[in-house]
Structure 1
């Protein structure tokens, strides 16, 4: 069992960089110092021991956090908890914590992968979550990684019990045209509805390449083309 705590970033609200849009580089020591100042020990849940993994990668990877007040904290050990829709970091003692107040974060780099916390539509409601950025420009192409928790199965005749387990499932792909929320794109019809100004070059690209909207490389190439045409 592990305990997870929130990192309270209240200091970021008190230090707006309104006078400058330049990013201020902060050290790992600065990050831990802010964490210790604003940490509060509220148990926000425990991870049950199950098979499989809720994380994108179990190991922590050096990354950086850039806040909306233009502060960059580099060299932080980070990982994505897909199931809980949270990004975790490891403190100086090696314990895992959850990054709280994600609305104060502009983006997070985990290795060479860029993540943003963004609103999106699902089942006629708006929620927020972490997405990996695949393409940037007029249209932001976002990947939502998915993990499902399968319940334990009791023993049956001639069958041993099966413990609860995490199962990685296919990713979903979303498009976001700021300032609107991200919307899932699964086919040409949804693409046209989101983009609105649908250029003829995209039709030609779709026909020529037989683009599949559930394939990362193929949909990324499509949206990169759209963004290049929109410059």
Structure 2
């Protein structure tokens, strides 16, 4: 108990940089400081399709408040619940809920974080993928919907409950600002001219397709130079 109390006290020391951060081998060891919601895999048994970006768990890293590093954590992203799930040492699948901490998740080539973000009409909270880091940041929001089963009508066959992917959304943020959904590429280009006045010439010369993910990544990287 005394060791646990000392660990709990240490977790709140202000640390700078990962070189000075605590490295913890098992995310479950922070159960006194985080709120978990148990995930029931049977929830999706009778639903066609998958709510996950990848059903398989990928061994990754969790960074909390830029100071606590947890390595070798089996992680996956549930797009439908908009939560990162992890598997503990006992094989239990748990869901990391928002508990006022700042999380960053590294799963293979993907980097996710929980963040506020702005759509056209409101501010929401969710998991975003960081595509480009820098003074201008580019994010991706995965989206999926659950369509209810329908009966056969005329020539239309019956359809089961099913997950249907929606178009991904892309967001941009300057500095530490809240990411905003990119609604209009033309407006985006006007805003980016303050970083690269010749941005339209760059697009034409390099044949950048602004409406594609790869094009947006190239564009934002160019503006960060």
Inter-CA distance 134–42: structure 2 relative to 1 (3 Å threshold)? closer
Show the counterpart of 1:204: 201
Partner Cα separation in structure 2 for residue 211 and residue 12 of structure 1: 50
Inter-CA distance 101–12: structure 2 relative to 1 (3 Å threshold)? farther
Contact 1:103–1:117 (Cα < 8 Å) also in 2: no
Deviates more, 1:193-202 or 1:83-92: 193-202
Show the counterpart of 1:91: 88
Partner Cα separation in structure 2 for residue 120 and residue 150 of structure 1: 25
Inter-CA distance 151–14: structure 2 relative to 1 (3 Å threshold)? farther
Partner Cα separation in structure 2 for residue 122 and residue 219 of structure 1: 18
- CA RMSD in angstroms comes to 2.7
- The answer to whether structure 1 residue 135 and structure 2 residue 132 are counterparts is yes
Show the counterpart of 2:168: 171
Show the counterpart of 1:16: 12
List runs of 5+ in structure 1 lacking aligned partners. 1-10
C-alpha displacement of 1:70: 0.5
TM-score between both structures, scaled by the size of structure 2 = 0.83
C-alpha displacement of 1:17: 3.5
C-alpha displacement of 1:193: 5.5
Contact 2:39–2:95 (Cα < 8 Å) also in 1: no
Show the counterpart of 1:73: 70
Partner Cα separation in structure 2 for residue 209 and residue 22 of structure 1: 37
Show the counterpart of 2:30: 34
Q: May I ask how many residue pairs the two structures share in their alignment?
A: 216
| TM alignment of 1:209-224, pairs within 5 A | 209-224=206-221
